[in-house]
A and B are shown apart, each in its own frame.
Chain A
Amino acid sequence: MKQTLAQKLVARAAGRKSVTPGEIVTCKVDLAMVHDSSGPRRMKPMLERLGAKVWDPTKLVVITDHYPPEHEDESRKVLRIAREWVREAGIDNFYDKQGICHIVLPERGHLEPGMFAVGADSHSPTGGAFAAYMFGVGATEMLGVLVTGEIWLKVPHTIAMEFDGAFGKGVSAKDVMLWLIGRFGMDGGQYQAVEYRGPAIRKLPMQERMTLCNMTAELGAQTGLIASDETTLRYLGKGECWGGDAGAPVLAHHRFHAEELAPQVAAPHSPANTRPVTDFSERIDLAYIGACTGAKLEDLRMAAQVLRGRKSRVKLQLAPASLRDQQTAEREGTLKVLLDAGAELLANSCGLCAGYGQQVLGENTVAISTTARNFKGRMGAASAQVYLASPYTVAASAVAGRITDPRAMLE
């Protein structure tokens, strides 16, 4: 029986030759990731209650990203618990204030094609970009993993999203996802596996692929997957090529022409509320370039292409997704372009996206943002209006002071 990439990954972790969509299996976990919000502060009391220890401390990665920059006592407390617990539990893989977990994890070499991984964060499908089966769980389920090293799974069907050709100028992975979420809805993924395929996907650099799999969360799938290839192995500096069998049965196979896709914008208050950028001209108060889905090195480069030699007319805030990406952007001059355009540099953390921290949107603020979710009240005041778009579109809108098609500024 021909197997999809998702089936092959699950079968390996379940110690089976093959698996069938719909059956319940138990998988051995190769890698578990938690952050400061979902991790130590919740795990520690539960582990103590059970009198249990982490099944394999070398397989757990702890990353602080939700509560930096520690601007008040509660945030400082959350981070202090994380720092103390990793010492007590003997967790060497600890990245403190190095950036957002989904970026730091592969950046520091923890992911490889073929792995089966779980993360205590909903954007954990990001790992699927590396042909690893990775999905998000809550803290209690993560506790189960930490104690047993295993997790149950209903073997997913695969929904194939195939893109022919190549994406046009000013069109990015974020546009692809906003468009797919708009077309199929926030439950279009049916908690199955979505696999991105086709020549247009193959041409995307690694971090753009990460954006596709990341926002598969907003498409309602358990994970997003991309077969590994030379681009994957070059980024990681290791690994093997993993892909599904040609002709393996899928639940649905959608084919699109990449050239036909225009830049997209999701209007308040849903990532599924998507239309082409040309339908919008709203005035904005704030442009935000941040988050795991919108402030990686590739995202900063896109914004810089638009902002080179231009100034933002509105408040422009920038929170690079990882310290390492920020340092690379600084070395190559990308960061200077953004700062010269008027960007205010914030910490390498989840920042405004989750609405957890120091920076939140005030009453009635109209914002355009590279983040993944614009639910009412998520980024601050319930009266704030958040539009989601690509780094190109957010940058162009910052320059114009209103939502603007970036393509004219890329001439």
Chain B
Amino acid sequence: MKAWVFGDNVDTDAIAPGRYMKFGIDEIAKHCFESVKPEFASSVKKGDVLVAGRNFGTGSSREQAAEALKHLGVAALVAESFAGLFYRNAINLGLPAVVCPEAKRIRPGDELRVDYETGKITDVTTGETLSAEPIPAFLMQLIRDGGLLPHLEKRPRTTS
């Protein structure tokens, strides 16, 4: 898991620009971060981790922001803090989001290992161990199921 590092207050317009919102996720994802880090969408690899400062995902309710990151292969998000609405969207789409007050110690390209349930992040490149907040058990269940939609799919269907 290679780290891509961003700063504070990264907004949803940067992650999923409004002018592409009328299209499907393939097209939206191509333009992910195009105004701030244009190389991201074409260079990010499956299993990479996005690392950020405070208030990641501030702004819109558009869940295509979290969906685009997942679509591009981002395996997890690590930030000092998340915007609450974005955090709920990420979990609901099955994308783990980990709050780590020490996220700023991670450098671009560092190899990371993240344990969502204990909140332990290992920076393999530097050998450092960072402590993060464990993802609560009821939200881990959603992530394991692949998000809220597959989670609801497991419920018994009622006939109407």
**Residue positions of A touching B, CB distance < 8 A:** 24, 37-38, 46, 49-53, 66-67, 74-75, 77-78, 119-122, 124, 135-141, 143-144, 147-148, 152, 185-187, 191, 220, 222, 270, 272, 354-356, 360, 373, 375-378, 380, 382
Nearest B residue to A355 via CB reads B18
Q: A147-B152, A186-B9, A356-B22 are in contact. List 6 more A-B contacts (CB 8 A).
A: A52-B157, A78-B22, A140-B148, A144-B148, A186-B58, A375-B13
Contact B59 A122 (CB under 8 A): yes
Contact A137 B85 (CB under 8 A): yes
A315 to B51, CA, bound (A): 41
Nearest B residue to A188 via CB reads B55
What are 21 of the A-B contact pairs (CB < 8 Å)?
Answer: A38-B61, A46-B149, A49-B149, A136-B61, A136-B85, A138-B66, A140-B93, A140-B148, A141-B92, A144-B92, A144-B152, A186-B55, A186-B58, A220-B84, A354-B60, A355-B18, A375-B14, A375-B59, A376-B14, A378-B13, A380-B19
| Chain B residues bordering chain A, tally (CB within 8 A) | 39
Contact B157 A140 (CB under 8 A): no
Report the minimal beta-carbon distance from B93 to chain A, rounded to whole angstroms: 6
Q: Which of A138, A220, A354 has the most CB of B within 10 A?
A: A138
- B21 in the interface (beta carbon within 8 A): yes
Task: Given A138-B85, A355-B13, decide whether A376 and B35 contact each other with a Cβ distance below 8 A.
Answer: yes
Closest 4 CB pairs of A and B: A191-B84, A138-B63, A138-B89, A355-B18
Contact A143 B149 (CB under 8 A): yes
Contact B138 A122 (CB under 8 A): no
Contact B62 A138 (CB under 8 A): yes
- B54 in the interface (beta carbon within 8 A): yes
Contact B58 A220 (CB under 8 A): yes
- B43 in the interface (beta carbon within 8 A): no
Contact A222 B84 (CB under 8 A): yes
Task: Given A141-B88, A222-B84, decide whether A356 and B160 contact each other with a Cβ distance below 8 A.
Answer: no
For A49, the chain B residues whose CB sits under 8 A away are 149, 153
A344 to B121, CA, bound (A): 54
A138 to B46, CA, bound (A): 24
For B119, the chain A residues whose CB sits under 8 A away are none
For A24, the chain B residues whose CB sits under 8 A away are 136, 138
Report the minimal beta-carbon distance from A142 to chain B, rounded to whole angstroms: 9
For B93, the chain A residues whose CB sits under 8 A away are 140
Report the minimal beta-carbon distance from B13 to chain A, rounded to whole angstroms: 4
Nearest B residue to A77 via CB reads B22
Contact A138 B13 (CB under 8 A): no
Nearest B residue to A221 via CB reads B84
Nearest A residue to B153 via CB reads A50
A99 to B124, CA, bound (A): 53
| B59-93 with Cβ < 8 A to chain A | 59-63, 66, 81, 83-85, 87-89, 92-93
Contact A137 B160 (CB under 8 A): no
Contact B55 A187 (CB under 8 A): yes
Residue of B19, B58, B84, B147 near A356 (CB, 8 A) is: B19
Report the minimal beta-carbon distance from A248 to chain B, rounded to whole angstroms: 22
Nearest B residue to A373 via CB reads B59
For A139, the chain B residues whose CB sits under 8 A away are 63
For B88, the chain A residues whose CB sits under 8 A away are 137-138, 141
Task: Given A74-B22, A143-B148, A354-B18, decide whether A138 and B58 contact each other with a Cβ distance below 8 A.
Answer: no
A360 to B87, CA, bound (A): 29
For B149, the chain A residues whose CB sits under 8 A away are 46, 49-50, 140, 143
What are the interface flags for B131-160 relative to A under an 8 Å C-beta threshold, 1 for contact and 0 otherwise?
000001010000000011100110001001
For A53, the chain B residues whose CB sits under 8 A away are 160
For B157, the chain A residues whose CB sits under 8 A away are 50-52
Report the minimal beta-carbon distance from A199 to chain B, rounded to whole angstroms: 30
A19 to B108, CA, bound (A): 43
A375 to B11, CA, bound (A): 7
A144 to B91, CA, bound (A): 13
Residue of B9, B21, B148 near A270 (CB, 8 A) is: B9
Contact B92 A138 (CB under 8 A): yes
Nearest B residue to A38 via CB reads B61
Report the minimal beta-carbon distance from B41 to chain A, rounded to whole angstroms: 15
- B17 in the interface (beta carbon within 8 A): yes
Nearest B residue to A144 via CB reads B148
For B59, the chain A residues whose CB sits under 8 A away are 122, 373, 375
A355 to B35, CA, bound (A): 14
Contact B89 A140 (CB under 8 A): yes
Contact A38 B62 (CB under 8 A): yes
For B21, the chain A residues whose CB sits under 8 A away are 37, 66, 354, 356
A140 to B60, CA, bound (A): 14
Contact A138 B61 (CB under 8 A): yes
For B35, the chain A residues whose CB sits under 8 A away are 376-377, 382
For B18, the chain A residues whose CB sits under 8 A away are 354-356, 378
Report the minimal beta-carbon distance from A71 to chain B, rounded to whole angstroms: 11
Contact A122 B85 (CB under 8 A): yes
Task: Given A50-B153, A220-B55, A356-B18, decide whether A137 and B61 contact each other with a Cβ distance below 8 A.
Answer: yes
For A141, the chain B residues whose CB sits under 8 A away are 63, 88-89, 92, 148
Q: Which of A46, A270, A377 has the most CB of B within 10 A?
A: A377
What are the interface flags for B91-108 relative to A under an 8 Å C-beta threshold, 1 for contact and 0 otherwise?
011000000000000000
